[in-house]
């Protein structure tokens, strides 16, 4: 008689697969909180749906709970950032986590590991400018790991031929599927020959970075003023609008492929393929009205 098949849990599987996508060692662990957020004690081995989201809001949790076979949420932003003193149903976040765990759904957060990986969010953010670039590099380097050479935070791209700022605006709006962005320019607009990008909130990363254009989700009023005073134009999109399209444009297909590759290699059970979905309830909390 052969030994019984040992089912790998969804959380153990995503940890193994994530080493091929964006190892957690690439993250800014000095302040970030990446990896497993909550591990469901009794996952259903037949449930093979993953839900991708930027934020784990109550609406996203409800969406996951309504799916027929969800066993894992990959929430880009970690829903737990600081220590919890209790877990109660009165707190909306804790309520969501408790309900998800009770239904066998675990939560995993990659955050800055996905920013830093070479095929990550920041490299995707400069995608429209790559065909016209002469160089493309990180702003700061992350831990170097074999197979992930060139990992780091932010990107700066130098263009072969300069653009005017309004051309850059159109390209960014098309890429991010946005109708509106916020733009700040020096009194005398200069051609855009270099662009620095940082998904989310980029002001701290941009300190000391010389570029004709900063692209990020958000900066404070005084940070924008300082950039403009130094001759740099600024495009702001709201924080998560620099991150969310990456889920459907890149990560969804990539993660599904890697999950099913692992299953084909290590899992002999006939439970079917993994399906990766992008949340429909996830959206930036701010909107233009």
Q: What is the pLDDT of residue 272?
A: 76
Q: How many CB atoms lie within 10 A of CB 207?
A: 10
Largest CA distance in the chain: 80
217 and 177 in a common domain: yes
pLDDT for residue 42 is more than 60? yes
Q: How far is CA 9 from CA 13, 14, 40, 171, 223, in A?
A: 6, 9, 9, 42, 45
Is 77 known to sit in a ligand binding site?
Answer: yes
Q: Say whether pLDDT at 180 is over 60.
A: yes
Q: What is the mean pLDDT of residues 239-250?
A: 97
262 has a pLDDT exceeding 90? no
- Same domain for 122 and 232, yes or no, is yes
Predicted pLDDT at 2: 43
Structure tokens belonging to residue 14: 């995503």
Q: Is the domain of 87 the same as that of 121? A: no
The three-class DSSP label of residue 152 is strand
Q: What is the mean pLDDT of residues 281-287?
A: 92
Closest CA to 176 of 134, 229, 136, 215: 215
Query: Across the chain, what does the average pLDDT equal?
Result: 93
Q: Determine if residue 166 is labeled as part of a ligand binding site.
A: no
Average pLDDT of the segment spanning 135-164 = 95
Same-domain pairing of 254 and 231: no
Count the domains in the chain.
2
Confidence of residue 116 (pLDDT cuts 50, 70, 90): very high
Counting Cα atoms < 13 Å in the Cβ hemisphere of 41 gives 3
Domain that holds residue 197: 117-236
3 state SS of 251? helix
Mean pLDDT of 149-176: 97
Tell me which residue of 46, 107, 61 sits closest to 275, measured CA to CA. Answer: 46
Both 14 and 107 in a single domain? yes
Binned at pLDDT 50, 70 and 90, residue 161 comes out as: very high
pLDDT confidence of residue 218: 97
pLDDT for 1: 42
Q: What is the DSSP string of 206-233?
A: HTT---SEEEEEE--HHHHHHHHHTT-E
Helices 58-66 and 92-102 pack at an angle, to 10 degrees, of 20
Angle between helices 252-266 and 10-21 (to 10 degrees): 120
Q: Inform me whether the pLDDT recorded for 123 exceeds 60.
A: yes
Read off the tokens for 289.
């009205």
Per the annotation, does 174 bind a ligand? no
Q: Residue 2 domain-assigned? A: no
The stretch 152-160 carries a mean pLDDT of 97
pLDDT above 50: residue 173: yes
Asked if residue 267 has pLDDT above 60, the reply is no
Own/partner pairs, 204-207, CB within 8 angstroms, 24+ separation: 205/139, 205/140, 205/153, 205/154, 206/139, 206/154
On whether both 183 and 147 belong to a single domain, the answer is: yes
In a domain, 285, yes or no: no
**47: which DSSP letter?**
-
User: In the chain, what percentage of residues exceed pLDDT 90?
Assistant: 85
Between residues 287 and 55, which one has the greater pLDDT? 55
pLDDT cut 70: percent of the chain above it: 95
Considering only residues 276 and 30, tell me which one the structure prediction assigns the higher pLDDT: 276
* Residue 115 assigned as binding residue: yes
The label of the residue with tokens 């591990």 reads 39
Instruction: Provide the pLDDT for residue 4.
Output: 41
Residues 130, 228 within the same domain: yes
pTM given for the model: 0.93
- Say if 256 falls within a structural domain: yes
More confident residue, 48 or 83: 48
Residue 84: helix, strand or coil by DSSP? coil
Does 5 map to a domain? no
pLDDT at 239 over 60: yes
CATH code of the domain in which 196 resides: 3.40.1390.30
Question: What pLDDT, on the 0 to 100 scale, is given for residue 264?
Answer: 61
The better pLDDT of the pair 190, 163 is held by 163
- 188 and 123, same structural domain? yes
Query: Is residue 48 located within the same domain as residue 89?
Result: yes
């Amino acid at each position: 008689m052969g030994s019984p098949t040992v089912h790998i849990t969804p959380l153990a599987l995503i940890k193994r697969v994530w080493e091929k996508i964006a190892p957690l060692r690439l993250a800014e662990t000095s302040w970030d909180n990446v990896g497993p957020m909550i591990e469901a004690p009794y996952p259903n081995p037949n449930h093979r749906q993953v839900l991708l989201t930027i934020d784990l809001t109550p609406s996203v949790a409800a969406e996951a709970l309504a799916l027929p076979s969800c066993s894992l949420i990959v929430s880009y932003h970690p829903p737990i950032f600081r220590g919890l003193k209790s877990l109660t149903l009165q707190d909306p976040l804790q309520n969501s986590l408790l309900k998800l765990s009770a239904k066998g759904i675990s939560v995993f957060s990659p955050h800055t590991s996905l920013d830093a990986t070479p095929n990550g969010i920041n490299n995707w953010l400069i995608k429209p400018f790559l065909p016209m670039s002469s160089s493309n590099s990180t702003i700061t380097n992350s831990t170097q790991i074999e197979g992930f050479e060139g990992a780091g935070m932010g990107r700066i791209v130098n263009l072969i031929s300069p653009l005017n700022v309004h051309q850059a605006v159109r390209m960014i709006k098309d890429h991010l599927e946005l109708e509106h962005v916020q733009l700040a320019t020096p009194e005398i607009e200069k051609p855009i020959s270099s662009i620095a990008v940082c998904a989310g909130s980029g002001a701290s990363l941009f300190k000391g970075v010389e570029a004709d254009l900063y692209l990020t989700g958000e900066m404070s009023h005084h940070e924008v003023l300082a950039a403009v005073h130094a001759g740099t134009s600024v495009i702001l999109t709201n924080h998560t609008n620099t991150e969310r399209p990456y889920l459907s444009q890149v990560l969804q297909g990539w993660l599904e492929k890697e999950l099913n590759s692992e299953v084909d290699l290590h899992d002999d059970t006939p439970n079917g393929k993994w399906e990766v979905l992008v949340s429909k309830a996830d959206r930036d909390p701010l909107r233009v009205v």
